C-alpha cells in the first residue's frame, strides 16, 4: 500500500495517540484504544479513512 500520511500528520497522530492512550489508562476507559489506532496509523503511514476519499498528506514525488 502507498503511504498516505505525511511527516507532520504522522507526528501529530503519534502525539495525539499517546495523549488519548494515557487518558484512557488514567480514567480506566476503553476509549484509550483510539490512541492505539492513532499511534498505529502514524507508525505505518497508512490511514484507511483517507483511502476512499483519495486524500494524501505525503510529499509529492519529484
Confidence bin at 24 (pLDDT 50/70/90): very high
Relative orientation angle of helices 33-44 and 7-26, to the nearest 10 degrees: 160
Instruction: Report pLDDT for 30.
Output: 93
Q: 41-55: per-residue pLDDT in tens?
A: 999 999 999 999 999
> Which alpha helices (H) appear in the chain, and where do they start and end?
7-26, 33-44
Give just the sign of the alpha carbon dihedral 45, 40, 35, 50.
positive
Confidence bin at 61 (pLDDT 50/70/90): low
Note the pTM of the prediction, 2 decimals: 0.88
Amino acid at each position: 500500500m502507498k503511504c498516505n500520511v505525511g511527516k507532520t500528520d504522522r507526528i501529530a497522530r503519534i502525539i495525539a495517540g499517546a495523549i488519548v492512550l494515557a487518558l484512557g489508562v488514567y480514567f480506566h476507559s476503553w476509549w484509550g484504544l483510539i490512541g492505539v489506532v492513532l499511534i498505529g496509523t502514524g507508525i505505518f503511514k497508512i490511514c484507511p479513512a483517507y483511502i476512499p476519499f483519495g486524500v494524501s498528506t505525503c510529499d509529492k514525488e519529484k
